[in-house]
Amino acid sequence: MKVAVLLVLVALLAPLAAGCEAPSNASTFVVLDNAYPATSGYVIYQAFWQAVSFQTPIPPGSSSDSQHTVPASANTAYVVIAPGWDPTSSTPPTTLIVLQSLQGYGVHVGNTVNIPVSDASFAGNCAAGSVLTQSQADFLTQTVFAGVFAGFRYDAATCTTSPIGEAGAP
């Protein structure tokens, strides 16, 4: 009798337990879309979202390769754009602008989240009349993209970078 009750309970609870497991073949991805027009010259130099770092430059009108990620609730995306820089060049860009998404992006297991990078979806491009606070810019340049901005100070009000130690820099 006890075994029969146990079997009935297992049969009733098994579908609930199975619903909590992710399918073994469910991959989750993130893609960064450079939604700037090709004529803009805004190359995505680097980007970061959740736990994914995008290190390969993305020309305007192009998308990154799909990057594996884990399911996530809405997270802010961060981007460094290099206006007018040729991504095939062997020299690094001389002008960089940091951007922060206006909304968070999330993804469910087995899905792909596309993050469109443009002045409509990101703040921080002075040329578009959008600026970050200096504390936001400092977080991006000193923490998120510290390697890119090592030895430089970024002015959020003008979207300019100057070497540390130059007149006016701290």
- What's the pLDDT tens digit per position in 93-107? 999 999 999 999 999
What is the number of domains present in the chain?
1
Q: Is residue 19 a part of any domain in this protein? A: no
Q: Is residue 65 a part of any domain in this protein? A: yes
Q: Is residue 12 a part of any domain in this protein? A: no
Q: Specify the pLDDT at position 74.
A: 97
Q: Is residue 9 a part of any domain in this protein? A: no
According to DSSP, residue 121 is labeled T
Amino acid residing at 93: P
pLDDT band at 30 (very low <50, low <70, confident <90, very high): very high
Average pLDDT rounded to a whole number, residues 52-78 = 97
Q: Is residue 46 a part of any domain in this protein? A: yes
pTM for the full predicted model: 0.82
Q: Which domain holds residue 99?
A: 25-163
Name 112's bridge partners: 29
Q: Is the confidence at residue 6, as pLDDT, over 50?
A: no
Q: Is residue 96 a part of any domain in this protein? A: yes
Q: Is residue 111 a part of any domain in this protein? A: yes
Backbone φ, ψ for residue 72 (5° rounding): -150, 150
